[in-house]
A and B are shown apart, each in its own frame.
Chain A
């Protein structure tokens, strides 16, 4: 039992890391990763939704009729997204403003619905929780690494939390602004996928 828990948890971190291996959840990944901080915030919000929607879907999996399951999953996910919206408005208002409509759009993030459909609807509560947490942390890692790369190259800084840069490249560095603009998001993610293909096979 403990072994399979660890297995479900760790697969989200590397072997099936959502953004790089499964290529799901592209929209928030491209849109909010201008800074590392935004990536971390978005990742944490998604992790919360993933974890709790996986738990609830798994608890209700024998009650939900299979014909209307997608609609039920969406309502469950939307409920947790609303909770996240409230919490972020209360405690991290600036980040909430920066992420904008991408917080309510977690509802239609294919990673979340994908895990509910592919995993939580068929497995026990503990396993689903491990899967959700692993996938969420994997997604956060992917978003923050993409954000870090884009921010470092595009602005010459690295912001992890709270709005002030943790690290700044020396004054001689001229930021390559392309990377923080829209096209840079696509190219940056494309390059990171390429890197993942080089490092390890599926």
Chain B
């Protein structure tokens, strides 16, 4: 139990998926201009990443390793994620329309979010057990949400500031992200 807690902390803070591993940066910059969209994206990622983490772990052990076709990992993982996203979208639309309205537009974007695919690959590379993979998927997703929401909060303020013309928009966004990443490097000594 203690080990799992350490794993979760290290995935959320120390190896933060956005700021230390650089995965999922396109939606990070794309959806962080408003707090509302940032929260929506964070929720959608948590939801899909946990499911994708579980399913790809099972696929890897019982399909790829069992049949000795591990070279198909890239193809099969991306197919699993793409179809999972599609399935989740259809399911939510039918049964939980409220949640669908909230996550709606962010779901299709997740297919090409490299954080999802990246965490699935990390789970396999680090040879996590099923429980560990589940915890790491959830913790990475929470770390993604945390960084995204923090960043959106800062960015809403930056809009009000007078930024030099050449630095505007993405450029100042990246530098702001760099400052937040600098803050996150402080967590490194924790575990």
A residues engaging B (CB < 8 A)? 23-27, 30-31, 70-71, 74-75, 78-79, 81-82, 85-86, 100-101, 104-105, 107-110, 113, 181-187, 189-191, 193-195, 197-198
Contacts and interface: CB of A to CB of B under 8 A. Distances in A.
B179 A183 contact: yes
Given A27-B114, A182-B22, A82 B79 contact: no
Given A182-B181, A183-B185, A24 B82 contact: no
A197 B163 CA distance: 13
Contacts of B19: 182-183
B170 A182 contact: no
B39 to A, nearest CB: 21
Interface string B168-190: 10111111011101101100000
Contacts of B21: 31
Given A27-B114, A85-B74, 8 more contacts: A74-B79, A100-B125, A101-B122, A183-B181, A183-B185, A185-B181, A193-B170, A197-B171
Contacts of B40: none
A25 B167 CA distance: 20
A109 B117 CA distance: 11
B72 A82 contact: yes
Contact of B71 (A25, A82, A109): A82
B178 A183 contact: yes
B68 interface: no
Given A108-B117, A113-B112, A27 B23 contact: yes
List 9 A-B pairs, minimum CB-CB distance, nearest first: A186-B178, A190-B174, A31-B22, A187-B178, A190-B175, A183-B181, A26-B25, A183-B182, A193-B171
Given A190-B178, A198-B166, A27 B121 contact: no
Contacts of B171: 190-191, 193-194, 197
Given A26-B29, A186-B177, A108 B78 contact: yes
A185 B114 CA distance: 18
A30 B114 contact: no
A74 B24 CA distance: 17
A23 to B, nearest CB: 5
Nearest to A100: B125
Interface string B1-37: 0000000000000000001111111101100000000
B66 interface: no
Contacts of A109: 114
A30 B114 CA distance: 13
A193 to B, nearest CB: 4
B124 to A, nearest CB: 9
A189 B172 CA distance: 10
A23 B170 CA distance: 8
A105 B178 contact: no
Contacts of B132: none
B114 A105 contact: yes
B121 A105 contact: yes
Contacts of A195: 166
Contacts of B177: 186, 190
